[in-house]
Structure 1
Amino acid sequence: MSSLRRSSLTEQAAEAIVELIDGRRLRDGDALPPTSELAEMLDVSVPVIREAIAGLAAIGLLKRQQGRETTVSVPGSSHLAQLLSLRVAGVEIEDERLQQFREIVEVGNAQLAATHRTDDDLIAMQTAVDQMRTVRDSEELHAADVAFHAAVSRATANDLCELTLEALEPVLRRLRRRVWSGWVGTGGSLDSIVEAHVSILDAIRQEDERSAARAMADHLAQARTGLEAPDATRPHFSK
């Protein structure tokens, strides 16, 4: 491994450590070489390596424990969620763009779920739909809605699909509230929302990819209606 002579040695050291992890095929729980060894390998000081390790630990790629060796870690949805939240806040991403991204992710999830779902996945989706039928306020509705879409993402049998939706959830929380208030403000009902989820579930149960994607797109069109409503910021709950 070549020595580091460019600016921002800490960043360069962090990149080199990531390359080392990849090159040695280190996995979750595997030990990283000692700090002194890394410093010698990269021809930088021990403090630079410590800073690089701290930065990688902050994003969940490494795990440090007092008095123990540093080990490789697999970042979870919480780490990605933090990055997404900072990105949304930092550049003031509009709800319209969040909705666009959600449509891309969730329509694809529904299509993939139709060919990979298990009986347990179908049970989880049905349970969420049943919960929607008995909600008493908008918070219970949001919880059931999140549970349904999470079950769809798990049914894809693709970790990246599930990870992405989990990470998006904190960002989408405000969007969901705005969409619901706008939907009710335009005369939309809870029953129509429930039936939209039933349509998605039925298509996934029948292993019909096209119908699942179309049903999810139709449901997210409801969300778009709520998003574009003029009074979409007022809180509502109505069955």
Structure 2
Amino acid sequence: MKHSRLSDQIADQLETMIIEQGLKAGERLPAERQLAEQLQVSRPSLREAIQKLASKGILASKRGGGTYVQDAPHAAFVDPMLALFRENPEYRFDVLEIRHALEGNAAFYAALRATDEDKAHILKNFDRMLELHGDKDPMAEARADAAFHLSIVEASHNLVLLHVMQGLFSLLQSSISHNLDKLYTLPRVFEPLSNQHETLLSAILNGNPERARAAAQEHLTFVEESLKKIDEEEARKLRSMRRLTTLGAYP
């Protein structure tokens, strides 16, 4: 394998790491020696890969100060969309709709392509979700949920898909955090969510692509419907409060 090709592969690994770990602009990468050992590559090849990402504006190296994320790969996708979401929150359901197609295919290819290491990583994220249920910060469980789904996307071994999905999850977490925390605290929602995640996990671990795609799409349908119900409940409460205020019965 040519050295230039190897550095391209390492650059792809670094981008995947930045996306999967949700690293943001200004955050530092591990030290060069540690990073080379983590990726199991030589330090000269690693330096060349870092230079490639620096030329793309993704990384920046400071002499004697390490390597920092300069512009997260998904930031250009997310930032303009956030402004749009603030003006019209209903666009978040557009994100959920597109996730049906993308995550269904990601689950399909993950079931086909996942390595033993990929499967261990997915299982680890699944266990982490269960550990965090009932945590004082419901958003911690929501973030663990995102990590579980992104580990499935990573197992599809499609870097473009991983870029897009990281951006979509960032949009969702930024735009509907209020509803996401409720999603993980309502008993009527958590049990089906947990069962759906387990079905999806099982299909991927057992290498059943069609079942994995169906499980991902069934799960997303449930999430979308549940978030809409939460919206409706919030709207009803708000209307009730306004009526009481108008009648002088609410302080």
Q: Shorter-chain TM-score category? A: 0.5 to 0.7
* Match status 1:219 vs 2:186: no
Correspondence 1:178 to 2:179: yes
Task: Name the counterpart of 1:136.
Answer: 134
Aligned partners of 1:200 and 1:62: how far apart in 2? Answer: 35
8 Å CA contact 1:110–1:209 kept in 2: the answer is yes
Matched, 1:108 2:105: yes
Q: Which amino acid aligns with 1:231?
A: E
What is the correspondence of 1:126-205 to structure 2 with a 5 Å cutoff?
126-134=123-131, 135-137=133-135, 138-173=138-173, 174-175=175-176, 177-178=178-179, 181=182, 188-205=188-205
2:114 pairs with 1:117: yes
What SS does structure 2 have at the residue aligned with 1:228? helix
The secondary structure found in structure 1 opposite 2:233 is coil
Question: Residues 190 and 156 of structure 1: is their aligned pair in 2 closer, same or farther, counting only changes over 3 Å?
Answer: same
Question: 2:77 aligns to what?
Answer: 80
Alignment partner, residue 23 of structure 1 = none
For residue 97 of structure 2, give the secondary structure of its aligned residue in structure 1.
helix
* TM-score, length-scaled by structure 1: 0.61
- Between Structure 1 and Structure 2, the one with more helix by share is 2
Q: Deviations over 1:194-227 (max 9, x none)?
A: 1211111111112211100000011112102212
Q: Could you tell me whether the CA contact under 8 Å between 2:183 and 2:190 is conserved in 1?
A: no
Unpaired segments ≥5 residues, structure 1? 1-26, 31-56, 66-72, 235-239
Equivalent residue pairs, number: 176
Q: State the alpha-carbon separation in 2 of the partners of residues 120 and 167 from structure 1.
A: 24
* Percent identity (aligned): 18
Amino acid at match of 2:182: S
Unaligned runs of 5+ in 2: 1-48, 63-69, 238-251
Contact 2:184 2:190 in 1 (8 A): no
Distance 1:223 1:61 in 2: 33
CA contact 1:60–1:76 (8 Å) conserved in 2: no
* Amino acid in structure 2 at the alignment position of 1:81: V
